[in-house]
Structure 1
Amino acid sequence: MRQPPERVPAPLDGPGVEVSDARELLLGYLEWYREALMRKISGLSEDRLRTPVEPLGWSPLGLVQHLGWVERRWMRWGFAAEDVLAYPPGGDEAEWTVPADRSVAEVLAAYREEAAATTSLAVAASLTDRARLGGRFQTPGQAPSLGRILFHLLQEYARHLGHLDIARELIDGRTGE
């Protein structure tokens, strides 16, 4: 009787298997998701980056723009209570729609700027530090810990990268990892 070939499990995504510290895991996975976002849009022409995918109604570049706003809302406006614009004028539609006069490079640079701000704020604080009051959160009872905010960002990325897998398959048949 033949034995099936031995299966070698795929390596884990994110930080290395030796990482067990919660802070390193949260920040490591957040960086992994950001890199995955760039991998998933890699190779798309400018037209395909900008064109809304039917029946989804948003473009891959619009998703990148949205994730930049998400990072800004949760970390700069939320955790740090910075006096920043939290939502674009025009609401959800403006958050997901890239204006024709805004280049791909500008959208990617703005996204990377927000990601860098998140990382900078996160490395300077403890996971148990609570969000400052005055931005997104007005009372101590509303203010979550940094760990809770980072966990929320991870679920945002996980959900939206799954959406992007579907969009990419509809665009050119490429499937996610």
Structure 2
Amino acid sequence: MQQPPEQVPALLDGPAVDVSDAHELLVGYLEWYREALMRKLAGLSDDQLRTPVEPLGWSPLGLVQHLGWVERRWLRWGFGAQDVTAYPPGGDADEWTVPAGTSTTQVMAAYQAEVTAANCHTRTATLSDKARLGGRFKTPDQAPSLGRILFHLLQEYARHLGHLDVARELIDGETGE
């Protein structure tokens, strides 16, 4: 009987191994983390997506909602200085809690809309471009470069996807990548 070929794991996650341009790497890894978020949610029922995981206190869908706010705060309000609401009226509790009348589809669509808007800012800017003034940052001394913002977003996603791995294991025993 013939043995199935061994699956060889990818040596690196994210952009292709021949990518060396720093902008392409940072944007590529950010996209990889966004896709990893969706992979880690795959297979969960609507109830599992919406139910807070104990002892963590938040639901997987609440994490998606939070990451949408993070994208908005750092790229639209922060880098682009757009006049947008940066925080929900109820603070952290509202940022992480999906209202009963809000569907999973609505949360996912809002998250994807923030990602699309964020990509408009990262697509043509250089890593050394500074955030525009007037949104999150009021003075030139406060305004970070796009490279600094992207690096921050990568660590934010990495941390939260690790949290999601723990939540997923508590929900149904699935372990992360």
TM-score category of the 2 structures, normalised to the smaller one: over 0.9
Aligned to 1:60: 60
Q: Following the alignment from structure 2 to structure 1, what is the Cα–Cα distance between the partners of residues 80 and 28?
A: 21
Q: How far apart are 1:9 and its partner, in Å?
A: 6.2
Aligned to 2:168: 168
- SS of the aligned residue for 2:174 comes to coil
Q: How far apart are 1:39 and its partner, in Å?
A: 0.3
- SS of the aligned residue for 2:144 comes to coil
AA aligned to 2:34 is: R
Q: Following the alignment from structure 1 to structure 2, what is the Cα–Cα distance between the partners of residues 159 and 42?
A: 19
AA aligned to 2:130 is: R
The one-character-per-residue Cα deviations of 1:40-89 (angstroms, maximum 9, x if unpaired) are: 00110000000000000000000000000000000000000000000001
Residues 1:21 and 2:27 aligned together: no
Q: CA RMSD in A?
A: 1.2
> Which stretch shows the higher mean deviation, 76-85 or 118-127?
118-127
Aligned to 1:116: 116
- SS of the aligned residue for 1:35 comes to helix
Q: Following the alignment from structure 2 to structure 1, what is the Cα–Cα distance between the partners of residues 174 and 119?
A: 30
- Taking structure 2 as the reference length, what is the TM-score of the superposition? 0.94
Q: Which runs of 5+ in 1 are unaligned?
A: 1-7
Q: How far apart are 1:138 and its partner, in Å?
A: 0.6
The one-character-per-residue Cα deviations of 1:136-170 (angstroms, maximum 9, x if unpaired) are: 00110000000100110000000000000000000
Q: Following the alignment from structure 2 to structure 1, what is the Cα–Cα distance between the partners of residues 73 and 168?
A: 26
AA aligned to 1:57 is: G
- Taking structure 1 as the reference length, what is the TM-score of the superposition? 0.94
Query: How many residues in Structure 1 have an aligned counterpart in Structure 2?
Result: 171
- SS of the aligned residue for 1:86 comes to coil
Residues 1:72 and 2:72 aligned together: yes
Aligned to 2:85: 85
Percent of residue pairs bearing the same amino acid type: 77
- SS of the aligned residue for 1:167 comes to helix
